[in-house]
Chain A
């Protein structure tokens, strides 16, 4: 008995470097504090308290990212579960800043007209909803929910073993399922999208876990470095590896929104409250692509001849199907949803290229990691601004998202029309916008990696995307003004978010050097 206790006593608590993990811990802690605030702070002061807590946490976390980056430490922390390296720090910075940008849009309007329902639990159109509306209630839980999601997103691309990866996936997904169902208008649609997201997410988690199991069976470890070791010196049949990486990849590609695992994207993007859509399109994509990149490059890098062709097929499907589907859409929000699918395809081309120093890239050339990091950051900023602009065109208080409602917008509000047109030009990849530079670097990485044919397909798809982007622009500037829709005066935080998003899009298009250099300095993953 005593011996057993002695054995148990020998398991010492792991030593953690709290400074390195601080960004995650601060965000997670703030989310927990937010829950306490919901319980203890009176309703009148809740919103302000939540906003202060959330932004304070983001600022503190960002400071710690900066401290860690300048310290230059690049190691695997927390008993091998979290890798704090260049790409991790870059992605953490991007995630925290873009979440801050999203939260600005969350603040849109005062409580009476916020994008979120006053009472999510009540039946849409029911009496309790009416009462909550009149009482001026608001779901201030959106702030802690967003922070919980963010903490999952922070861990997701930094995870260095498969179990941490899975936990992070669930931590980031569950709050998003809830957030998707909180729209104030068209609540049935919103709830439906929430349920769809949850069901399909659960199913993809199944694939994901099965993949983890098979990879464990193949390598005998969850650790990325261990798996990489097993790939080099296999002891088990290759079938286990192939099936495992396939299933794991499907789970990740689901979150990325790649075809054929994209079906949820348009429905959820349209149903969710628009600020949440912006948050998902920017931050979920960053976290998921980051995780995919690390799993494929660190754990499965030696098996890249196995996954590159399959991923190339997925990239082509994603670009082509996304673009083709968008052509006949009549809803601006849905077009942006499909556009986000196409952009996921463009990002995948660079990942397929696997153009790294270790795989034949010359010093100074654009590497895949650099290209993907740059693309994610600038695309995130543009996307949040674009979805923020969507909230400004309304028909009797409800967002008017039909392309016909946007016709002739330039005559009603030249500023909104010009801003949206500029972002669309960036999405289409026109020079002097960040979209052009982003496309340039991902295509350069794919080309350098020997996937010239994939770049040619991608450029052709870019041309197709111009059909629907320019369609919106033409309609906004040359169409007859729609009678029903109006442009509402945005709140100052929303305006700020749009201004920042556009500034990033412009500056990163004209002076891309500093950001590209930052991405290049992020360098390689640690193992």
Chain B
């Protein structure tokens, strides 16, 4: 047996006490705020955004309090459960509703509420001129509540509620500018692809209920060791299926690029920092399942690796600044998936990268929003150039995010990505090399983005007047910029030990945390070298002296063409899913019309016919009613007598 797949010891949750027992408020506050904002109508237009932001800040404050309380507890007392109530309890079947506050979920709570609050604040400025700003904040609050429910749930069914909730909020926010057909179509696409993933989740949950008789994390984890290998593998693959849709992993990735139709703060919060990482969370939570199936965990590694390369490839060939970032998001989540698939050694790294990525990607998306704000909502980088002079704060904060994502020494990404690449090499040489290639490509396309946007000559039209964004937008940028630079330094030595009881991971000691780990191993040096190569290549092609055409040059280069078409993701979906789906639908429709519909219509018709017959008894005459009663009495008497005789 692979030493990385040895069974793990995971702490069992104890009942929550003190402030942790109020963890449900984390969810309730934004949820109530969302409800108020939606119900109150126009009356709340003037202060709705403040209420929404306040709700998010309250949750953030509570999350910090819970976190600090947890820091003061001994390790074995840190995993706490909050039992809310039993939804249905009858006989031997109970469906409990409960929360699990442990080292893993509290980290997510911090990320969601703090980054969420910053994005709320930023949105006050970004959405200032939108007539439906109140509704926007209501949806943001709804998202925060659903996402917190997702990460705080103590069983798969409640997690599924949050899972569906974030899907709904994401749908509403992608299509927020519903008057644009492209936004409406993108929302629909995200919704449909996520339904495909939900199917996997739903089947997985049903399978758990059928096999284990429980859906709680602790119950499933405890029972996983005894289940048959086939069941456990199937379960792992089904959960991965659900995770792929939510986290935009190949082959269910096509919706994420279109999701950029939503307002930019939404892209930052939902499609970069939080929701899309739910798949990684799911895999990490289900660590006990993946520990018992080499097949499924290998599948996670393979999917993660494919996605990290595909996302980077797409990132290289796009001119739309948000789509470059979206491709990059895919790619970075690919890294996390890869780490999570490696097993106990990788979970902490996956979560570490997830947190730092939450900082720097939210930072860069908000920065992109700031640039778009300045450029009259133009997203084409070919129309930018030389913006560093006009938007110094945005440039500086974006630069911080840039350094973090390429893994510049001592920035956040340097620590978190490096660990993953090293773990990948340890797991399998091929995977390691591919992860390394991904790092080089990342450096290339991010440098390209920086140069095209902030460097070089100005290429914008005469009627555009770039300007720095207002304080309400730049302050969140500055804070996130600081986190992008210093977050890794702060967390590196701590996060592995912190998470170990929640995700298992006996091999953490093997990777003794060190701030200079990146320089201590040859792989660290190699990584730095390939990153430098990526940056240099970008400078060669897109350097300050280069002329960048206004329109993307036509090319036959298959790599570029493929990248520009999202690696033909839509065509793939069309060929593999949509067209056979349509054919299947037609077939099913034919059967449906002839058979099922016929049966249903026939049934309803039969009911109608019966109804018409029975209705004749309802004549409206009291005498016939009395007769019905007497006949009924006779029938009843007959039954009573028959009962006696039998």
Q: Contact residues of A with B, CB < 8 Å? A: 195-196, 199-200, 203-204, 207, 238, 242-243, 245-247, 249-250, 254, 259-261, 263-264, 266-267, 305-307, 309-310, 313-314, 321, 323-328, 362, 364-366, 437, 440-441, 444, 448, 464, 467, 510-513, 516
CB within 8 Å for A306 and B640 given contacts A263-B618, A264-B625: yes
Contact present for A365 and B91 (CB under 8 Å): yes
Contact present for A263 and B628 (CB under 8 Å): yes
Complex Cα–Cα for A510 and B636 (A): 39
Q: Which residues of B contact A437 (CB under 8 A)?
A: 88
Q: B199 contacts the other chain (Cβ, under 8 Å)? A: no
- Return B82 CB to nearest CB of chain A, in Å: 15
Q: Which residues of A contact B428 (CB under 8 A)?
A: none
Q: A200-B622, A203-B629, A325-B611 are in contact. List 14 more A-B contacts (CB 8 A).
A: A199-B626, A242-B641, A243-B637, A247-B633, A260-B632, A266-B618, A309-B639, A310-B640, A328-B612, A364-B91, A366-B90, A366-B91, A440-B88, A513-B89
Complex Cα–Cα for A195 and B86 (A): 49
- Return A452 CB to nearest CB of chain B, in Å: 14
Q: Which residues of A contact B90 (CB under 8 A)?
A: 365-366, 440-441, 444
Contact present for B615 and A328 (CB under 8 Å): yes
Q: B608 contacts the other chain (Cβ, under 8 Å)? A: yes
CB within 8 Å for A313 and B625 given contacts A260-B631, A260-B632, A325-B614: no
Contact present for B88 and A512 (CB under 8 Å): yes
Contact present for A263 and B614 (CB under 8 Å): no
Q: From DSSP, what is the main secondary structure of chain A's interface residues?
A: helix
How many chain B residues touch A (CB < 8 A): the figure is: 36
Q: Which residues of B contact A305 (CB under 8 A)?
A: 643
Q: Which residues of B contact A440 (CB under 8 A)?
A: 88, 90
Q: Which residues of B contact A441 (CB under 8 A)?
A: 90
- Return A453 CB to nearest CB of chain B, in Å: 16
Contact present for A204 and B85 (CB under 8 Å): no
Q: Which residues of B contact A243 (CB under 8 A)?
A: 637
Most buried by A among B91, B624, B629, B637: B629
Nearest CB in chain B to that of A511: its residue: B85
26 example contacts (A-B, Cβ-Cβ < 8 A) are as follows: A196-B622, A200-B625, A200-B629, A203-B626, A203-B629, A242-B640, A242-B641, A246-B637, A250-B633, A261-B629, A263-B624, A264-B625, A267-B620, A306-B640, A309-B639, A309-B642, A310-B639, A310-B643, A325-B615, A326-B611, A327-B608, A328-B612, A362-B91, A437-B88, A440-B90, A516-B89
Complex Cα–Cα for A321 and B643 (A): 23
Most buried by B among A250, A310, A366: A310
Contact present for A513 and B628 (CB under 8 Å): no
Contact present for B607 and A324 (CB under 8 Å): yes
CB within 8 Å for A328 and B608 given contacts A200-B622, A513-B85: yes
Q: Which residues of A contact B614 (CB under 8 A)?
A: 321, 324-325
Nearest CB in chain A to that of B613: its residue: A324
Contact present for B611 and A327 (CB under 8 Å): yes
Contact present for B632 and A259 (CB under 8 Å): yes
Most buried by B among A263, A307, A464: A263
Q: Which residues of A contact B88 (CB under 8 A)?
A: 437, 440, 512
Q: B617 contacts the other chain (Cβ, under 8 Å)? A: yes
Most buried by B among A327, A328, A440: A327
A interface footprint on B593-623 (CB within 8 Å = 1, 0 otherwise): 0000000000010011011101101101010
Within 430-457 of B, Cβ neighbours of A (below 8 Å) are at none
Nearest CB in chain B to that of A513: its residue: B85
Complex Cα–Cα for A517 and B89 (A): 10
Complex Cα–Cα for A431 and B644 (A): 41
Nearest CB in chain B to that of A312: its residue: B639
Q: Contact residues of B with A, CB < 8 Å? A: 85-91, 604, 607-608, 610-612, 614-615, 617-618, 620, 622, 624-626, 628-629, 631-633, 635-637, 639-644
Nearest CB in chain B to that of A432: its residue: B87
Q: Which residues of B contact A464 (CB under 8 A)?
A: 607
Complex Cα–Cα for A440 and B90 (A): 9
Nearest CB in chain B to that of A321: its residue: B614
Contact present for A328 and B91 (CB under 8 Å): no
- Return B458 CB to nearest CB of chain A, in Å: 50
Nearest CB in chain B to that of A250: its residue: B633
Contact present for B91 and A444 (CB under 8 Å): yes
Q: Which residues of A contact B620 (CB under 8 A)?
A: 267
Q: Which residues of B contact A207 (CB under 8 A)?
A: 633
Complex Cα–Cα for A513 and B96 (A): 11
Contact present for B611 and A324 (CB under 8 Å): yes
Contact present for B610 and A324 (CB under 8 Å): yes
Contact present for A200 and B636 (CB under 8 Å): no
- Return A468 CB to nearest CB of chain B, in Å: 9
Nearest CB in chain A to that of B84: its residue: A511
Contact present for A263 and B91 (CB under 8 Å): no
Complex Cα–Cα for A321 and B628 (A): 13
CB within 8 Å for A314 and B636 given contacts A324-B611, A365-B91: yes
CB within 8 Å for A250 and B636 given contacts A200-B622, A365-B90, A467-B607: yes
Q: Which residues of B contact A444 (CB under 8 A)?
A: 90-91
- Return A344 CB to nearest CB of chain B, in Å: 14
Complex Cα–Cα for A261 and B620 (A): 14
Contact of B617 among A263, A306, A365 (CB under 8 A): A263
CB within 8 Å for A238 and B644 given contacts A263-B628, A267-B620, A365-B91: yes
- Return B454 CB to nearest CB of chain A, in Å: 48
- Return B612 CB to nearest CB of chain A, in Å: 6
Q: Which residues of A contact B632 (CB under 8 A)?
A: 250, 259-261
Complex Cα–Cα for A373 and B642 (A): 31
- Return B597 CB to nearest CB of chain A, in Å: 14
Contact present for A328 and B631 (CB under 8 Å): no
Complex Cα–Cα for A245 and B632 (A): 15
Closest 9 CB pairs of A and B: A260-B632, A263-B625, A328-B611, A310-B639, A327-B611, A327-B607, A309-B643, A324-B611, A324-B610
Complex Cα–Cα for A263 and B626 (A): 8
Complex Cα–Cα for A246 and B630 (A): 12
CB within 8 Å for A325 and B618 given contacts A242-B640, A259-B632, A260-B631: yes
Contact present for A313 and B639 (CB under 8 Å): yes
Q: Which residues of B contact A327 (CB under 8 A)?
A: 604, 607-608, 611
Q: Which residues of A contact B91 (CB under 8 A)?
A: 362, 364-366, 444, 448
Q: Which residues of A contact B617 (CB under 8 A)?
A: 263
Complex Cα–Cα for A444 and B615 (A): 32
Contact present for B611 and A260 (CB under 8 Å): no
Contact present for B625 and A196 (CB under 8 Å): yes
Contact present for B622 and A246 (CB under 8 Å): no
Q: Which residues of A contact B615 (CB under 8 A)?
A: 325, 328
Nearest CB in chain A to that of B610: its residue: A324
Contact of A260 among B86, B608, B635 (CB under 8 A): B635
Complex Cα–Cα for A323 and B603 (A): 13
- Return B321 CB to nearest CB of chain A, in Å: 39
- Return A80 CB to nearest CB of chain B, in Å: 28
Complex Cα–Cα for A464 and B605 (A): 12
Nearest CB in chain B to that of A448: its residue: B91
